[in-house]
């Protein structure tokens, strides 16, 4: 069904790109329209009425008009600023990583309401937690689940047998875990410990409230992080740009 010439939507701002002297192209993620790009005319002028309502990582209610190439944002009213994120370099960097993942993984105008809810909930969670890594791991796995890329973590992708509680192996190209016997035929695999397998299963099956109670050792956290990153890099066929700065902050 075609959109009306003028329409309303909520949206979270994923990205902003300058256009001309005062305009911006805003990449938005919406509940019912998926990802859209729209022009905010004059938004970079000091007295623009759109102004802070379209800041990066802001949730706003928008009025848009259909344009020839890109739609035009005519009105904007902030709903949630996620202000605590923006006063802390670590938290804002994590939030930008979430936004980049959504932008990289989604095509324009493909509705996926669960992804909008996941992004919104995860940004609110980041506002009130010190355990940023846990938010990122939960978000990554939930995003993969909603996109149809959930890794297989319960049975071997080769022989289809339930995975035994031992050191199995993970294959990004196959999309999940393999038993030691079947992994011999795979060109690129990484070990996955029993605990890492349990953590990833838990994060995929849990909401953010349950996931927030999880505690991991530093070594386990790093193992899970590296496995998920490897899988995401394989799926996207490129590095996620914001990770470089995140890694720099961790160091």
Three-state SS sequence of 202-223: HHHHCCHHHHCCCCCCHHHHHH
| pLDDT at 1 (0 to 100) | 58
| CATH class label, 84-250 | mainly alpha
What strand order describes the sheet that includes 168-171?
A: 176-178, 168-171, 190-192
Cβ-contact 97, 240 below 8 angstroms: yes
CA distances from 72 to 61, 62, 80, 95 (A): 14, 10, 21, 26
* Domain 6-81 listed as CATH 3.30.428.10: no
- DSSP-assigned beta bridge partners for residue 73: 64
Instruction: Look up the pTM and report it.
Output: 0.94
Cβ-contact 202, 211 below 8 angstroms: yes
For the chain, where are the E strands, in sequence order? 6-19, 23-30, 34-40, 59-65, 71-80, 168-171, 176-178, 190-192
Rounded CA separation 44/48 (Å): 7
pLDDT of 37-91, one tens digit each? 999 999 999 888 887 899 999 999 999 999 888 999 999 999 999 999 988 999 9
**Residues with Cβ < 8 Å from 155, sequence gap 6 or more?**
161, 162, 163
Structure tokens at 241: 């740009």
Structure tokens at 181: 């016997």
User: Packing angle between helix 113-128 and helix 132-147, nearest 10 degrees?
Assistant: 180
Ranges under pLDDT 70 in the chain: 1-2, 251
The residues of the chain that CATH labels 2.40.50.140 are 6-81
The residues of the chain that CATH labels 1.20.1440.120 are 84-250
């Amino acid at each position: 069904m075609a959109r009306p010439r003028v329409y309303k939507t909520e949206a979270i701002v994923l990205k902003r790109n300058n256009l001309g002297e005062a305009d911006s192209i805003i990449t938005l993620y919406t509940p019912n329209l998926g990802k859209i790009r729209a022009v905010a005319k004059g938004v970079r002028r000091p007295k623009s009425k759109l102004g802070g309502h379209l800041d990066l990582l802001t949730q706003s209610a928008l009025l848009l008009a259909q344009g020839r190439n890109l739609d035009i944002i005519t009105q904007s009213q902030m709903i949630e600023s996620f202000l605590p994120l923006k006063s802390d370099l670590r938290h804002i960097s994590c939030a930008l990583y979430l936004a980049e993942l959504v932008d990289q993984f989604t095509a324009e105008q493909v509705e996926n309401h669960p992804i909008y809810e996941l992004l919104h909930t995860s940004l609110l969670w980041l506002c009130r937690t010190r355990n940023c890594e846990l938010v990122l791991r939960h978000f990554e796995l939930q995003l993969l689940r909603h996109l149809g890329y959930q890794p297989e973590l319960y049975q071997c992708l080769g022989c289809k047998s339930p995975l035994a509680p031992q050191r199995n192996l993970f294959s990004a190209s196959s999309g999940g875990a393999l038993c030691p016997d079947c992994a011999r035929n795979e060109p690129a695999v990484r070990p996955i410990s029993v605990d890492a397998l349990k953590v990833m299963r838990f994060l995929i099956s849990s909401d953010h409230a349950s996931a927030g109670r999880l505690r991991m050792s530093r070594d386990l956290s790093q193992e899970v992080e590296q496995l998920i990153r490897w899988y995401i890099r394989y799926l996207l066929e490129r590095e996620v740009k914001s990770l470089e700065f995140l890694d720099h902050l961790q160091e």
